Amino acid sequence: MQVRFAIPKGSLEEATFRLLERSWTRVTRKSRTYRVFLDDPSILVKMLRPQEIPTLVSEGLYDVGITGRDWVGETGADVEPLLDLEYGRISLVAAFPEKYRYRTLDSMVDDYAERGRTLRISSEYLTTASAFVKKLPSYVKRHGAKSPLIVTPWLRTGTNRAVQIHLSFGATEAKPPDDVDAIVDVTETGTTLRQNKLRIADRVMESTAHLIANPRSLRDTAKRGKIFDIVTLLRGAVRGQRYLHVYLNVEGRNLKRLLRDLPSLKRPTVSPLAGEGGGWYGVNTVILKSEYHKVIPRLRRTAQGLVVHEPRQILDLEEVKRDEEN
């Protein structure tokens, strides 16, 4: 039995490989190929465009995949989200030229309808953009339940020619105001939009990379076990990036005070140092990175020999077991 695993090529590629390398002990890829090899031969890995992965997983060509939540929503794929991988964070936004007087896309829709003008919007996210526009109060008031006309080189669908969503093949931010009136596009910081003199009007959705699975593969007993092996390793790597593993030595008279102030996942591990006759102890704990700056002043006063490193993984096996059973 083998599990087919699709991973994203392109903007999510580098971060995905960093995660894989924290999750498995060997990750290799041959140049000029799309095949990736893990140290588990029962997992077959291939790189694909993230836009394709939800549909291919839904169709059963792959059992699991990594893609942005934005593409899961855009494709409407029947997949099971298993894990937020916490990277590839982007916002999908509506934007238009900053010289326009409008504050929101809703006010733009209303004004264009009032003046009998056709509103053209460019986006790679045709389904998402159309659904967002259809819910705007001004759109409902002016156009009712009609769907915006979606325009691609090979397909036109939707009945409302007064509001059109045009497929963009990239460089979406360069299209207004000459080719379209507004865009729905992804941004991380908004810098590219500002450089092109565009203003963000609305935030449509937030997205990060997710691990998704084919529902039928999850019902397959043999595949389900391997899929949750993947979940275990990836979740452990994701959690590991939030924590620090701390080792330190403390004199016995300061031990109780230290333990009172020291955070941990559950409880710190305490061991007497060899040959110290109970005078010194070694303390081993895991703390959130966000707590580290708070802990240092306390440790500086009570501890010695501090060693800190970022754990490769933190595996909560009970949590994954509960997920698998559900």
- C-alpha distance from residue 118 to each of 111, 121, 161, 165, 199 (Å): 10, 10, 7, 11, 20
What letter does residue 321 receive in the DSSP assignment? H
Residue 156 shares a structural domain with residue 253 = no
Q: How many domains does the chain have?
A: 3
Any domain includes 325: no
Any domain includes 267: yes
Residue 197 shares a structural domain with residue 224 = no
* CB-side neighbour CA atoms (13 Å) of 100: 21
Residue 29 shares a structural domain with residue 83 = yes
Residue 196 shares a structural domain with residue 111 = yes
Answer whether 70's CB lies under 8 Å from 128's CB: yes
Residue 50 shares a structural domain with residue 152 = no
d(Cα 5, Cα 148) in Å, to the nearest integer?
36
Domain with 303 in it: what CATH number?
3.30.70.120
Any domain includes 132: yes
Average per-residue pLDDT in the chain?
A: 92
Any domain includes 315: no
Residue 248 shares a structural domain with residue 275 = yes
Residue 179 shares a structural domain with residue 190 = yes
The tokens for 234 are: 């990836």
Please identify, among 220, 240, 260, the residue that sits at the C-terminal boundary of a domain: 240
Domain with 158 in it: what CATH number?
3.40.190.10
Q: Which domain holds residue 161?
A: 91-207
d(Cα 109, Cα 268) in Å, to the nearest integer?
59
- For 75-128, the pLDDT digits (tens) are 999 999 999 999 999 999 999 999 999 999 999 999 999 999 999 999 999 999
Mean pLDDT of 267-285: 83
Any domain includes 80: yes
Residue 220 shares a structural domain with residue 76 = yes
pLDDT at 1 over 90: no
Q: Give residue 294's pLDDT band: very low, low, confident or very high (50, 70, 90).
A: confident
Which residue reads 């971060």 in tokens? 15
Residue 82 shares a structural domain with residue 117 = no
Residue 151 shares a structural domain with residue 191 = yes
Residue 265 shares a structural domain with residue 236 = no
Residue 43 shares a structural domain with residue 147 = no
Any domain includes 136: yes
Any domain includes 60: yes
Any domain includes 32: yes
pTM of this structure: 0.88
